[in-house]
């Protein structure tokens, strides 16, 4: 058992490293070859001469040659140096350190709320076996799925309501289907039916025959929910002027800020890969 777990752990670590390295390179390539990357705002500055502009453009080209830039960036990242933002003229690590707590709070509350709401509506759709509750839960999930997260966030922002709840409502329909299928399978499992026939109480049923068997899937789903919440955070923070990492990613994309986008790409890729590896280990 220990040897098997050690083998899975080693495979997960190697996979994590490869995914982060390749994912970061793909993020850098998408930025480097995006339309308008070579355009510099100094082009429209009448005080800068043509020769100076040509020299600045050549320097930018040399600095952003993709393989060389990425290898240099990875070497520096291993030392904890993610470079300096081209647009904000501030070290990337400092920007992330200042903004991470804001985004972490929103993602934390939003993920917890979304999972709880998704579990509640999934339970209403499966456990009572009442058509009215099933229709209500499915309709509510479908309605929330049709509303973009940014629209939800603006409604909460204008009414001075917690944006964490907006993240939770945006996340709920995205986990509802998985939770509903999971509860549906557990509801008809032979072990749970036998326990019900023996007169086991609802609390013991929930802990022993629902949460216990479903724990690995719930941990994996929680990790996926964190990633989905981060995706929803970007338009929410950008539109509601929340000084978090999502707003920073939006500004970096608009400015085609290669060092900042590479740092964000490495972090997001690491988070997704770590979640996947954790899900594989707890199965």
Per-residue pLDDT of 154-173, as tens digits, reads 888 888 888 889 999 999 99
Percent of the chain with pLDDT strictly greater than 90: 17
Query: How many Å from the N-terminal Cα to the C-terminal Cα in the chain?
Result: 13
How many structural domains compose the chain?
Answer: 2
The two tokens of residue 67 are 């393989």
How far is 267 from 168, CA to CA, in rounded Å? 22
36 or 68, which is more confident = 68
Indicate if 124 and 31 belong to the same structural domain.
no
Q: Between 12 and 239, where is the model more confident?
A: 239
Distance, in Å, from the CA atom of 58 to the CA atom of 64, rounded to the nearest integer, reads 10
Mean pLDDT of 143-151: 88
Q: 234 with 194, same domain?
A: yes
91 belongs to a structural domain: no
In a domain, residue 196? The reply is yes
Considering the domain architecture, whether residues 132 and 238 belong to the same structural domain is answered as: yes
Q: Are residues 77 and 123 in the same domain?
A: no
The pLDDT-based confidence of 36 (bands split at 50, 70, 90) is low
Note whether 129 and 111 are same-domain residues: yes
Q: Are 153 and 213 in contact (CB under 8 A)?
A: no
Give every CB contact of residue 147 below 8 A, 6+ residues apart in sequence: 170
pLDDT in tens, 191-225: 777 877 787 777 777 778 777 778 878 887 887 88
Are residues 110 and 72 part of one domain? Answer: no
Q: Is residue 232 part of a domain?
A: yes
250 lies in the same domain as 282? no
Kindly state whether residues 170 and 265 are assigned to the same domain.
Answer: no
238-283 confidence digits (pLDDT tens): 888 889 998 888 888 877 777 888 888 888 778 777 776 776 666 5
pTM of the entire predicted model:
0.77
Same domain, 137 and 235: yes
- What's the token pair of residue 204? 């013991």
> Is residue 92 domain-resident?
no
| Distant-in-sequence, close-in-space partners of 67: CB < 8 Å, separation ≥ 6 | none
Of the candidates 115, 114, 118, 110, the residue with the CA atom closest to the CA atom of residue 138? 118
Residue 236 CB coordination number (10 Å): 28
93 in a structural domain? no
- Same domain? For 73 and 102 the reply is no
Q: Average pLDDT, stretch 94-104?
A: 90
Q: How confident is the model at residue 140 (pLDDT cuts 50, 70, 90)?
A: very high
Integer-rounded Cα Rg, in Å, for the chain is 24
Look up the CATH number of the domain holding residue 245: 1.10.3720.10
Of residues 37 and 162, the one with the higher pLDDT is 162
Structural domain contains residue 152 = yes
Q: Do residue 115 and residue 232 come from a single domain?
A: yes
Per-residue pLDDT at 122: 92
181 and 276 together in one domain: no
Whether residue 79 is contained in a domain is answered as: yes
Within 10 angstroms of residue 268's Cβ, the number of other Cβ atoms is: 19
Tracing tokens 């490869």 back to the chain, one arrives at: 18
Range of the structural domain that residue 262 is part of? 1-86+257-283
Is position 207 within any domain? yes
């Amino acid at each position: 058992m220990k040897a098997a777990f050690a083998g899975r752990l080693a495979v997960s670590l190697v996979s994590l490293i490869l995914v982060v390295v390749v994912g970061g390179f793909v993020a850098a390539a998408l930025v480097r070859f995006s339309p308008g990357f070579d355009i510099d705002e100094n082009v429209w500055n009448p005080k800068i001469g043509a020769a100076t502009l040509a020299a600045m453009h050549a320097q930018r080209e040399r600095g952003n040659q993709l393989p060389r830039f990425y290898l240099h960036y990875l070497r520096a990242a291993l030392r904890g140096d993610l470079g300096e933002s081209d647009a904000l003229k501030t070290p990337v690590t400092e920007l992330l350190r200042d903004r991470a707590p804001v985004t972490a709070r929103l993602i934390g509350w939003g993920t917890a709320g979304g999972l709880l709401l998704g579990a509640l509506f999934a339970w209403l759709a499966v456990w009572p076996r009442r058509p009215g509750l099933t229709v209500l839960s499915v309709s509510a999930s479908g309605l929330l799925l049709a509303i973009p997260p940014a629209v939800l966030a603006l409604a909460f922002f204008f009414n001075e309501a917690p944006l964490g709840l907006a993240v939770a409502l945006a996340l709920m329909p995205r986990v509802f289907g998985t939770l509903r299928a999971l509860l549906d399978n557990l509801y008809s499992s032979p072990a749970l039916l036998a326990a019900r026939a023996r007169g086991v109480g609802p609390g013991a049923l929930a802990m022993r025959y629902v949460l216990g068997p479903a724990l690995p899937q719930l941990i994996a789903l929680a990790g996926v929910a964190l990633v989905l919440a981060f995706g929803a955070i970007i338009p929410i923070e950008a539109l509601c002027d929340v000084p978090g990492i999502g707003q920073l990613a939006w500004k970096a994309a608009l400015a085609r800020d290669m060092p900042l986008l590479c740092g964000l790409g490495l972090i997001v890729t690491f988070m997704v890969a770590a979640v996947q590896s954790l899900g594989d280990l707890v199965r």
